[in-house]
């Protein structure tokens, strides 16, 4: 054990994709990790169950607290009790499309929630001690004005989510300037992983591709196939969050790969990983993706039955219900500042990301396939 004092981190949104990767990352670095989780009527800790430590054990370094970003007094109490050296504010209603349905709640949690954290640190006299990371987003750029987007590109948010995050961005800058707080924005472009929420487009695609390959689903319905995103891996991006809080001076950073891909191409890549070749034809709502070829060696390698993959079958269709009232068409990040000042570079390429996500979903869906075929009698197969 080193003689260094153990650092304490508080992660809001610890049950989400990034919270889970960040918690694992900080625990490996020797941190005492506190996490804020919401009360829910069913278990919501799937992504962090492997990190759980029994509260009856002494010397725990992973502790969860019930809380909510809409509840100031709760946040003040938890920050007072935990006295964190670093707060990572990752909690948010993070779905852009859902923010059009729940704009007020999104503003409260994503916008005012950030203010509540900053105010709590200030009121508790922790300005000197506590560094704050705010989960800002490439959605701030919104309507395309220039590419690639960097720290100096103007914002033009295009959803209630992005507008709420814009408030959070500026209140973080303001508290840094007004109170000399160490408070930073990481402007992160899209990042994904096998534990990405199932309704974000990459995961929706990798899950459906696996199900279609196993004959468990016929079609995948998507919205705007032409949207372009700069997709990285969450594992790389949580390392950048940590690096942002280890600098001498608080600064904001863009974290991105610098490569952009259409949703359509992500679909092609995901199916190709399973040995299924897709071609798109048609325009707008009439566009569709059809299986035009099959790689039998790859199917055999993955234990897939070629009979489930029928040439000429339409597997992707457009459903306008997934369109957004206002869309963000093109995101490409310029990560040069992070490369130069943080020494940060992504280790994952898009191909590696797609490979990991597709194979992970194939494994999950195989379990579903066995269950469907054999009921609970097949469960011991997985032991």
**Active site residue ranges:** 137, 139, 161
Using rule CB under 6 A, residue 47 touches ligand GDR: no
In the list ligand NDP, ligand GDR, none, the entry touching 91 (Cβ below 5 to 8 angstroms by class) is: ligand NDP
Using CB under 6 A, which of 6, 29, 30, 44 touches ligand NDP?
A: 44
Site string for ligand GDR, 291-330 (x = CB under 6 A): -------------------------------x-x--x---
Q: Give the closest residue to 15 by CA, choosing from 34, 35, 29.
A: 35
Name the H helices within the chain. 17-28, 72-82, 96-101, 103-106, 113-123, 160-179, 201-213, 234-244, 263-273, 296-301, 336-337, 350-374
Non-local (6+) Cβ contacts of 62 within 8 A are: 23, 27, 33, 35, 51, 52, 53
Question: Which is closer to ligand GDR, CB of 130 or CB of 193?
Answer: 193
HSE, side-chain direction, 13 A CA sphere, residue 103: 7
Q: Distance (Å, rounded) from C-alpha 153 to C-alpha 141?
A: 7
Using rule CB under 6 A, residue 153 touches ligand GDR: no
* Beta carbons within 10 angstroms of residue 45's beta carbon: 16
Using rule CB under 6 A, residue 91 touches ligand NDP: yes
Using rule CB under 6 A, residue 139 touches ligand GDR: yes
Using rule CB under 6 A, residue 96 touches ligand GDR: yes
* Beta carbons within 10 angstroms of residue 180's beta carbon: 11
Using rule CB under 6 A, residue 229 touches ligand GDR: yes
* 246 phi, psi to nearest 5 deg: -100, 5
Three-state DSSP at 302 gives coil
Asked if residue 9 has a cis previous peptide bond (ω within 30° of 0), the answer is: no
Using CB under 6 A, which of 153, 172, 185, 190 touches ligand NDP?
A: 190
Using rule CB under 6 A, residue 38 touches ligand NDP: yes
Using CB under 6 A, which of 164, 222, 267, 358 touches ligand GDR?
A: 222
Please give the residue whose beta carbon sits closest to ligand NDP in the complex.
Answer: 16
Pairing of strands 314-318, 288-294: antiparallel
Decide: 145 and 179 in contact? Cβ < 8 Å.
no
Question: Which is closer to ligand NDP, CB of 188 or CB of 225?
Answer: 188
In the list ligand NDP, ligand GDR, none, the entry touching 90 (Cβ below 5 to 8 angstroms by class) is: ligand NDP
- Judged by CB under 6 A, the chain residues 120 through 139 that form the site for ligand NDP are 135, 137
Pick the stretch among 9-17, 213-221, 240-248, 291-299 that binds ligand NDP (CB under 6 A): 9-17
Name the H helices within 155-228. 160-179, 201-213
Which residues here bind ligand NDP, judged by CB under 6 A?
A: 12-13, 15-19, 36, 38, 40, 44, 68-70, 90-94, 109, 135, 137, 188, 190-191, 197
Residues near ligand GDR (CB under 6 A) are 94, 96-97, 137-139, 189-190, 199-201, 204, 222-224, 227, 229, 263, 322, 324, 327
């Amino acid at each position: 054990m080193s003689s260094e004092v153990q650092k304490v981190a508080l992660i809001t949104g610890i049950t989400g994709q990034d919270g889970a990767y960040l918690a694992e990352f900080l625990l490996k670095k020797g941190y005492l990790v506190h996490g804020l989780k919401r009360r829910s009527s069913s278990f919501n800790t799937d992504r962090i169950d492997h990190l759980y430590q029994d509260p009856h054990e002494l010397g725990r370094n992973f502790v969860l607290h019930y809380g909510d970003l809409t509840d100031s007094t709760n946040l003040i109490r938890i920050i007072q009790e935990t006295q964190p050296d670093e707060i990572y504010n990752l909690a948010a209603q993070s779905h852009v499309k859902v923010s059009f349905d729940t704009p007020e709640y999104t503003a409260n949690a994503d916008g005012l929630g950030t203010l509540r954290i900053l105010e709590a640190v200030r009121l508790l006299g922790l300005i000197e001690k506590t560094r704050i990371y705010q989960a800002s987003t490439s959605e701030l750029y919104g309507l395309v004005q220039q590419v690639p987007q960097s720290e100096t590109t103007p914002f033009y948010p295009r959803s209630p989510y992005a507008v709420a995050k814009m408030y959070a961005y500026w209140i973080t800058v303001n508290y840094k300037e007004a109170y000399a707080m160490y408070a930073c924005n990481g402007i992160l472009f899209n990042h994904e992983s096998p534990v990405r929420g199932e309704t974000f487009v990459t995961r929706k695609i990798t899950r459906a591709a696996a199900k279609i390959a196993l004959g468990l689903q016929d079609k995948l319905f998507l919205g705007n196939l032409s949207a372009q995103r700069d997709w990285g891996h969450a594992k790389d991006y949580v390392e950048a969050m940590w690096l942002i809080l280890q600098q001498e001076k608080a600064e904001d950073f863009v974290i991105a790969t610098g490569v952009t891909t259409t949703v359509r191409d992500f679909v092609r890549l995901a199916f190709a990983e399973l040995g299924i070749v897709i071609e798109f034809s048609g325009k707008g709502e009439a566009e569709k993706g059809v299986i035009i070829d099959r790689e039998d060696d790859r199917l055999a390698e993955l234990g897939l039955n070629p009979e489930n993959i029928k040439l000429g079958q339409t597997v992707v269709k457009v459903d306008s219900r997934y369109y957004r009232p206002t869309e963000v068409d093109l995101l490409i990040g310029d990560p040069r500042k992070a490369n130069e000042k943080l020494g940060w570079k992504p280790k994952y390429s898009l191909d590696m990301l797609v490979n990991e996500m597709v194979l992970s979903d194939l494994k999950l869906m195989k379990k579903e396939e066995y269950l469907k075929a054999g009921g609970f009698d097949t469960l011991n197969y997985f032991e």
